[in-house]
Amino acid sequence: MQAYQCRHCGYESLTTKYYCPKCRHTEFSKVNINETGDIYSYTTIHIAPPKFAEHAPYHVVLVQMTDRLRVTGYMNQDVNIGDRVRFKEFSEGAYVFEKV
Ligand SMILES: [Zn+2]
């Protein structure tokens, strides 16, 4: 899995940015990160927008991927804070995770 790291302050993001939201620097390096992380927080969605209705109920999870990077994604397995999860696929514009 690839991320972009600000060359000035180390801020990490999964998507390219015109400038770093932390320090406004404009140069980034591509870095490889592990595809596993820990659940930092989550919310259970029972009534989903039409696009995701068939998947409900599901969880919107915030996954701590590295010290500096948290990723918002989706899971349809039961989760708890601190659970170890793995990036499964990029589907319909969303990051999908599964338990390790
Ligand atoms: Zn920066």
Q: How many domains does the chain have?
A: 2
User: Mean of the pLDDT values across residues 48-58?
Assistant: 85
User: Mean of the pLDDT values across residues 41-46?
Assistant: 94
Are residues 55 and 98 both part of a single domain?
Answer: yes
Helix (H, G, I), strand (E, B) or coil at 30: strand
Are residues 15 and 41 both part of a single domain?
Answer: no
Sign of CA dihedral 80, 41, 6, 97: positive
Whether the pLDDT of residue 27 is over 90: the answer is: yes
Which residue range forms the structural domain that includes residue 56? 34-100
Sign of CA dihedral 28, 30, 31, 36: positive
- Residue pair 42/81 in contact (Cβ under 8 Å)? The answer is yes
Are residues 63 and 93 both part of a single domain?
Answer: yes
Are residues 40 and 22 both part of a single domain?
Answer: no
Are residues 7 and 53 both part of a single domain?
Answer: no
> What pLDDT score does 48 carry?
86
Residue 60's CATH number: 2.40.50.840
Q: How far is the CA of 69 from the centre of ligand 1 (A)?
A: 13
Q: How far is the CA of 19 from the centre of ligand 1 (A)?
A: 8
Are residues 66 and 29 both part of a single domain?
Answer: no
User: Mean of the pLDDT values across residues 54-75?
Assistant: 93
Q: How far is the CA of 9 from the centre of ligand 1 (A)?
A: 4
